[in-house]
Structure 1
Amino acid sequence: MLEALQYDFIQNALIAGILISISAGIIGSLVVVNRLTFLTGGIAHSSYGGIGLAIYLGIPVLFGATVFAIITAVVIAMLTLKNRNRADSIIGLMWAFGMAVGIIFIDITPGYNVDLMSYLFGSIIAVSNGDVLYMTILDIFIISIVMIFYKQILAVSYDSEFASLRGINTKFFYTLILILASLCVVAAIKAVGLILVIALLTIPTYLAESFASRLSTMMILSSALATLFTIIGLAISYYYDISSGASIIISAVVILTVVKLLRR
């Protein structure tokens, strides 16, 4: 794959893959520890509404998806905090609503020629310089927030009741974790798409759990594993001319399976 690095689109894809892997490792650890996988999946699919709205308004797709995903995360957080026992119904509602909004706006957009499959299943080789800059900013923001509020996030993630007794605003940090997850989802859209984004968030973390005893260690190891999976997936995609998103996830699943079998 070294000869492929002479091409700008391959360089952008590799840089974007590393940036996405860093945020996916950090946020994936929080998602798994807080058992928010299904909830994050709802946010991911709801952000399709932002994609459709952005196409209709003629604004950058990632920006539209980011705004829509953040709003969805806040709404889901507010509703699930009061109705934890109905969380699955609320997530399903937002999931369907977001997808429906996106489809409607795309249908009424005159003469659009956007490849929507790339947003559903990923197309990291189509990443532009602007997308790389956007992902860099998102990464910096996510890392900064996690570093600043690490102790509070750690407390809320492992024992929210004790954290509440210690005076930590658990509702705020619960909402913050969902917002960070929504930002990570948007960053990962170009790599693996909305359909496969949850796999990128959870598989590296699931594997990292076997070797890490601290949340910080899990985040670092998850980011490293996500980067490894992304590079391998990109190489497979380049040599065999197949979907980059699917290649990344298949690589992750195969490596996870082999490691788990060897450990047994």
Structure 2
Amino acid sequence: MDIIELLDYAFFRNALLGSFFASIACGIIGTYVVTRRLVFISGGITHASFGGLGIGFYFGLNPIFSAMIFSVFSAFGIQWLSRKQGVREDSAIAVFWSLGMAVGIMLTFLTSGYAPNLSEYLFGNILTITRTDIVSLAILTSVLFLFFAVNYHAIVSVSFDTQFAQTRRVNTRFIEYAMMLFVAVTIVLSIRLVGIVLLMSLITVPQMTANLFTVNYSRIIYLSVGVSFVACVVGLLLSYYLNVPSGAFIIFVLIVMFFAGKIVKIWNPGSSKQSSA
């Protein structure tokens, strides 16, 4: 079966659309995460979302909705513990990371019967993306575009130097909490692509690849979106033909692209990065 024939299937079209919008959202949010060095915070939020999934399974709620609420509170909780309660940031991450996983495991096992689609949330299955998921990702992408258009310079300032941003009278607390909210929502809405276990790579590796060729903030966003979407499409097609999990193959393709970029830089050391954010 060729690619044209695959497009006749609704599940494949949904997968492509979901990949497109998720790539944009992850490209925007991931650039902030990598620039602010919040990779482990994003990992903590990602794994904490499992607690929300467990709550959804146990109480019969929409697991994505419950995971989103739990992730948002975890993101704010990490900020609150590390900023207001004198707890080290890595310790605060560990608290909510462990809490989410513990709650998720307990409630999943206490749920009557077995959650048949649990593996889709843990390891991802891009072919299960629904129209509702696509609409949610499209709305998130639109909101992110609007928020960045209005607050771009403030976001860049906070991303590189929070103290400097404060001297410029930037409302850093608003930017930080708003971005943590977007990080949590983006993570949860992207779970179906690669799953909780591998999702952290989707919001870091494309940005690392883009950063090999530019340090310009906006260019990193554009390049990482492109890298992420190409990896999703290639990973989706190869996983279909090779009959392997799509989420793992997407991340594998991302890693291959990163190392390919490193090789290009090694063989072409004279190429300079585009400077200035």
The TM-score normalised by the length of structure 1 is: 0.95
Contact 2:24 2:141 in 1 (8 A): yes
Match of 1:35 among 37, 42, 49: 37
Contact 1:199 1:249 in 2 (8 A): yes
**1:184-214 CA deviation, whole Å, 9 max, x = no partner?**
1112100001111111111110011122232
Equivalent residues in 2 for 1:5-20, closer than 5 Å: 5-20=7-22
Matched-pair identity in %:
36
Contact 1:45 1:95 in 2 (8 A): yes
- How far the C-alpha of 1:57 sits from its partner, in A, is 2.3
Equivalent residues in 2 for 1:6-155, closer than 5 Å: 6-82=8-84, 86-155=88-157
Count of residues in Structure 1 that have an aligned counterpart in Structure 2: 264
Contact 1:81 1:171 in 2 (8 A): no
**1:93-146 CA deviation, whole Å, 9 max, x = no partner?**
110101111122212221243321111110110111122122222222222222
Distance in 1, Cα, partners of 2:63 & 2:76: 20
Unaligned ranges ≥5, structure 1 = none
Three-state SS of the structure 2 residue aligned to 1:223 is helix
Distance in 1, Cα, partners of 2:194 & 2:26: 11
Structure 1 residues 261, 197: closer, same or farther in 2, change over 3 A? same
Distance in 2, Cα, partners of 1:59 & 1:134: 17
- How far the C-alpha of 1:38 sits from its partner, in A, is 0.4
The TM-score normalised by the length of structure 2 is: 0.91
Matching residue's letter, 1:194: I
- How far the C-alpha of 1:262 sits from its partner, in A, is 2.1
**1:11-69 CA deviation, whole Å, 9 max, x = no partner?**
11111111111111111100000000001100000011111111222222211111111
Distance in 1, Cα, partners of 2:6 & 2:44: 36
Distance in 1, Cα, partners of 2:116 & 2:136: 20
Contact 2:81 2:87 in 1 (8 A): no
Structure 1 range deviating more: 163-172 or 223-232: 163-172
Matching residue's letter, 1:170: T
The aligned residue for residue 208 of structure 1 is 210
Matching residue's letter, 2:192: K
Matching residue's letter, 1:203: V
Distance in 2, Cα, partners of 1:255 & 1:113: 35
Structure 1 range deviating more: 137-146 or 21-30: 137-146
The aligned residue for residue 222 of structure 2 is 220
Question: Higher relative contact order by CA 8 Å / sep ≥ 6: 1 or 2?
Answer: 1
Equivalent residues in 2 for 1:152-167, closer than 5 Å: 152-167=154-169
Structure 1 residues 157, 123: closer, same or farther in 2, change over 3 A? same
Distance in 1, Cα, partners of 2:53 & 2:124: 13
**1:178 matched to 2:180:** yes
